[in-house]
Amino acid sequence: RAGVPVEIVQEFDTWRKIRDVEGDEGWVHQNLVVGSRTALIAPWQEDSPVALRSGSGADARVRAWLSPRMLVSVRSCNGEACEVRLNHTGPDGRAATWQGYVLQETLWGVYAGEVID
């Protein structure tokens, strides 16, 4: 599915071996892999929401609670928290864009301690 994060584990010429969140691997042409970073919110959790905060600190105000497996765009990471953005349509059908910070350890698609500018 377009936009879902994958990990590139090997390269050969114009081919990339990728791994998805489930651990499945396969080869795809490099044209099918884009450079924009996305991540999944805590896909290993069943029903524990993750706080989307107004700042990168643990004491920052909670803007929203994100459900496991939600897809977010990664804007930046400082090694401990990442600034993310997501578009979400609520149960009432209204669309909203949310932006804020989540702990880096709650994301699949970003390495522990990785810094992204």
In the predicted structure, residue 97 carries a pLDDT above the cut 80? yes
Q: Which residues pair with 84 in a beta bridge?
A: 74, 100
pLDDT in tens, 18-70: 999 999 999 999 999 998 999 999 999 988 999 999 999 989 999 999 999 99
Reported as a single tens digit per residue, the pLDDT across 75-96 is: 999 999 999 999 988 889 999 8
Give 30's contacts (C-beta < 8 A, 6+ positions apart): 14, 15, 16
Residue 112 in tokens: 């522990």
Q: What is the pLDDT of residue 52?
A: 97
- 1 pLDDT more than 80: no
pLDDT of residue 30: 95
Nearest to 3 by CA among 69, 73, 66: 73
Kindly indicate the confidence band of residue 8, based on its pLDDT and cuts at 50, 70 and 90. Answer: very high
pTM of structure: 0.88
CA distance 36 to 90: 25
Could you read off the pLDDT of 103-112 as tens digits, one per residue? 999 999 999 9
Q: Is 21 left (phi over 0), alpha (psi -120 to 50) or beta?
A: alpha
Are β-strands 15-19 and 7-12 bridged in parallel, bridged antiparallel, or unpaired? antiparallel
Side-chain-facing half-sphere of 110: CA atoms under 13 Å: 33
Q: Per-residue confidence at 2, pLDDT binned at 50, 70, 90? A: confident
